[in-house]
Amino acid sequence: MPDPFTLRTGDPRSPPLKMLLIRPAIANDAALLLAMIRELAKFERAPDMVTNTEEELARDGFGDNPKFRALIAEWNGQPAGYAIFFDYYSTWAGPGLYLEDVFVRETFRGRGIGSALMAEVARIAVEERRYGIHWSVLDWNERAIELYKALGAEFRDWWRPVLLSGEALQRLAEKAK
Ligand code: ACO
């Protein structure tokens, strides 16, 4: 387990280093992560969509075969936000990252924490020679969209997100020979 590290972006607008700590999450953070995942789902107007449990998160993030990596942002020792990301692979460009969630608790917003979480994921992507980071954002989430535009992200509206799940997934699976 690497030591927790403080973020140093070199940006003069960055929060004071003593206040903000961004560290990799550990198994003991599963309950905290789940609480913040629920807060994000509520913000995204889908509070009942979280079916994941603390045990499943602990297994999937911190077990033998981790499915995701997570960062926790602490402000003066208080849990203030998180980011969750995992491997992406493009047949065109090779290994990338997929950012599933970035979230800052309401009372901590506007202090540079979200930007710092994004910067840390970008630092990891560059260090690991990933070609880029993919993510999705709801079309009404203007504050997040403004942040992503300011970062120089490209909005790929000509690609439509697709999900197959539930009964439709079962039906198709049963057609497999
Ligand atoms: N009003 C409007 N815009 C603001 C405000 C505010 N009060 N505060 C910050 N911003 C915008 C500005 O563009 C700002 O850039 P600037 O400082 O150069 O002006 C930019 O956000 C970044 O500011 P931060 O302080 O770094 O952002 P914050 O810590 O508030 O985190 C985030 C941004 C993550 C979007 C946060 O507002 C949040 O968690 N929102 C609710 C959940 C959410 O939308 N998550 C992203 C969903 S998409 C996904 O998960 C992949």
CA 111 / ligand 1 centre spacing (Å)? 9
Q: Ligand 1: which of 36, 108, 113, 143 to mutate, most ligand atoms within 8 Å of CB? A: 143
Give the tokens for residue 111: 């202090």
Neighbouring-strand partners of residue 81: 73, 104
- Whether residue 110 has its Cβ less than 6 Å from ligand 1: yes
pLDDT at position 8: 47
Contact criterion met (CB below 8 Å) for 113 and 104: yes
Which amino acid residue places its CA nearest to atom 12 of ligand 1? 147
Residue among 140, 121, 105 nearest 33 (CA): 105
- Whether residue 102 has its Cβ less than 6 Å from ligand 1: yes
pLDDT at position 94: 98
- Whether residue 135 has its Cβ less than 6 Å from ligand 1: yes
> Is the dihedral angle over the CA atoms 77, 117, 161, 59 positive or is it negative?
negative
User: Is 131 designated active site?
Assistant: no
CA 95 / ligand 1 centre spacing (Å)? 27
Contact criterion met (CB below 8 Å) for 85 and 133: yes
Write down the catalytic residue from 88, 89, 131, 148: 148
pTM of this structure: 0.91
Contact criterion met (CB below 8 Å) for 85 and 121: yes
CA 155 / ligand 1 centre spacing (Å)? 17
Ligand 1 closest atom vs CA 103: 39
* Gyration radius of the chain over CA positions: 17
Regions of the chain with pLDDT less than 70: 1-17
Locus of tokens 């460009």: 93
pLDDT at position 117: 98
Distance CA 100, CA 50 (A): 14
Select from 3.40.1010.10, 3.40.50.2300, 3.40.630.30, 2.40.37.20 the CATH code of 20-174.
3.40.630.30
Residue among 151, 130, 58, 120 nearest 88 (CA): 130
128 class by beta-carbon count within 10 Å (0-12 exposed, 13-18 middle, 19+ buried):
exposed
Give residue-wise pLDDT tens across range 60-86. Answer: 999 999 999 999 999 999 999 999 999
CA 110 / ligand 1 centre spacing (Å)? 6
- Whether residue 84 has its Cβ less than 6 Å from ligand 1: no
pLDDT at position 14: 61
